[in-house]
A and B are shown apart, each in its own frame.
Chain A
């Protein structure tokens, strides 16, 4: 059963992975980090990514048509993808069995990152992290 650190190390084995973090989007707290962060500061990156995740999680425009209840079996919003000229950011919401607001953040180099693969793997990791 993986803990936070094992989960992050596994994320770093994905092709093109530059850095990864587990972040709480209500507080902006980085619960765990590995590798590099844009600008070199994981804590700032976590706080900024948390703002983005919060908007996606809370605004009804991004919710599925059957509502945005975060206490259900699946998270209403699954992930966020940002691409820029040299990298991808993938944010994957983690569904926990207790009240929380956690997501995985993976930073990928655009040259050798595989976004489709990373999206599938990150979803699997998010599930294993909380369900064992």
Chain B
């Protein structure tokens, strides 16, 4: 995959394929190139950002999933006050993660587990199909600082594996993004508690991302649970509203649409 270079600004956008996989197996050719050149900075895509340090991914954020702060605040591990204190003390040095561990706010293992979970989770959405150009800002670093860097290749492999996992559970992606609706079938005792918690937040308005924030749970976990619930016939997506029919001659119903189309074509040609 080659990138066309132009003198900045403006830089030509690198548009990733909708299917998300390029010839070399990566999900983003630009990301692979940045890993090869051991770049440091932030990759900005339509559904979020990836922070790189020396070509490894150190942090990821996406509006589709709760961030580390939300996940850790949900059960009261770290409240907003603790985050504010840590960011004020160590944010400028980009060492907030280290500060939290050194000051006994959270165990190192717990921070690593939560951070890695959140990183892979956000990256799944960031590396999803994107309709807008990818940009990279060299030199930018996140205030959290490195906690447990992840190689780009591992992140890309995991992202592809996650897509396949969802597809295997239930092939319809509608529940990933649309507002969710219960089917009305009784849940029954076979629904595990974790899925029951998701089911309890489904109200015809919330999306998977909303449910994840409400539960303080990584969004990919919610996607998995929703696909299982959809496979069990308990949850579906609210159907998108049908666009109103266009007024006018062109949309007049006909018993045979092909005949109607040919007649209109003939009329138009004769009128020339």
Contact = CB atoms under 8 A, between A and B. Distances in A.
Contacts of A27: 120, 162, 165, 220-221, 224
Interface string A1-30: 111100100000000000000101011110
Contacts, number: 103
Nearest to B111: A3
B113 A68 contact: no
Interface stretch (A80-88, A93-101, A106-114, A115-123): A93-101
Given A4-B148, A98-B75, A129 B157 contact: no
Contact of B109 (A26, A58, A71, A130): A130
Contacts of B221: 26-27, 99, 101
B26 to A, nearest CB: 16
B181 to A, nearest CB: 23
A86 B71 CA distance: 41
B74 A99 contact: yes
Of B71, B110, B162, B195, chain A has the most CB atoms within 10 Å of the CB of B110
Contacts of A96: 110, 113-114
B89 to A, nearest CB: 19
A69 B193 contact: yes
B91 interface: no
A113 to B, nearest CB: 24
Nearest to A44: B161
B112 A3 contact: yes
Interface residues of A, number: 35
Contacts of A4: 109, 112-113, 116, 148
B117 interface: yes
Of A29, A94, A99, chain B has the most CB atoms within 10 Å of the CB of A99
A132 interface: yes
Contacts of A68: 192-193
Contact of A3 (B76, B108, B195): B108
A94 B114 CA distance: 12
A3 B216 contact: no
Interface in B220-262: 220-221, 224-225
A71 B193 CA distance: 10
B194 A58 contact: yes
Interface in B190-225: 192-195, 215-218, 220-221, 224-225
Contacts of B195: 58
Contacts of A102: 113
A47 B164 CA distance: 12
Contacts of B112: 3-4, 31
Given A26-B221, A31-B113, A47-B161, 13 more contacts: A2-B108, A3-B148, A4-B148, A26-B194, A27-B120, A58-B192, A58-B194, A96-B110, A97-B76, A97-B77, A100-B113, A102-B113, A132-B107
Interface of A: 1-4, 7, 22, 24, 26-29, 31, 43, 47, 57-60, 68-71, 94, 96-102, 128-132
27 contacts: A1-B109, A3-B108, A3-B148, A4-B109, A4-B112, A4-B113, A4-B116, A4-B148, A22-B113, A26-B221, A26-B225, A27-B221, A28-B161, A31-B116, A59-B192, A60-B189, A68-B192, A70-B193, A71-B75, A97-B77, A97-B110, A98-B75, A99-B218, A100-B117, A101-B194, A128-B109, A130-B110
